[in-house]
Amino acid sequence: MKYLIISDIHGSLPALDSALQFYADRRCDMLCILGDILNYGPRNTIPDGLNPKEIAKQLNAMSDQIVAVRGNCDSEVDQMLLDFPLLQDYMLLVDEGKKLMLTHGHVYNKEVLPPGRFDAVFYGHTHLWELYTDGSKAVCNTGSVTFPKGGNPPTLCTYEGGLISMFTLNGELLSTLTI
């Protein structure tokens, strides 16, 4: 399977539309959302194209292709709008024997992990993309499709057959890592 992994949409419809176009163009099979979907949060500015109702509508139309975890800006109210589970702090995805831990980053992250062994840890929250191996596992922060920090462009990644690929939102390949 080919997974598109994104984080920190923060209610921006144009950012989601670009991510969904990437999903379609790259023929992905599943969308993994690492939290902060509808709400922009009190520390951020109002994002371009703020439209949480339309985001919910578009994501609900493809809910059978989505797995998601809760971000620090997601709440029970957000879950009421979405037709896929959102309120777990992390999830384990197993693909071809590889254990992928998906989380937002505010509870668990590269430094604080739940019990278990993981081949890769995917998170967001900091809005700073990174992709490396620490010797025992791959670490991937998907950055943010809406509010990237550190002078970075909006970013997302794919995972397929042990290959993690980091891209800008407009499709430029930034880095790859095989696990």
The domains found in the chain, sorted by start residue, are 2-178 (3.60.21.10)
pLDDT tens digits for 109-160? Answer: 999 999 999 999 999 999 999 999 999 999 999 999 999 999 999 999 999 9
In what order do the strands lie in the sheet containing 138-141?
A: 90-95, 98-103, 120-123, 138-141, 130-133
Helix/strand/coil percentages in the chain, nearest 5: 15, 30, 50
pTM for the predicted model, two decimal places: 0.97
Strand partners, 95: 98
Stretch 7-14: mean pLDDT, rounded? 98
CA angle 169–104–111, rounded 5-degree value: 115
Residue 43 in this model has a pLDDT that exceeds 90: no
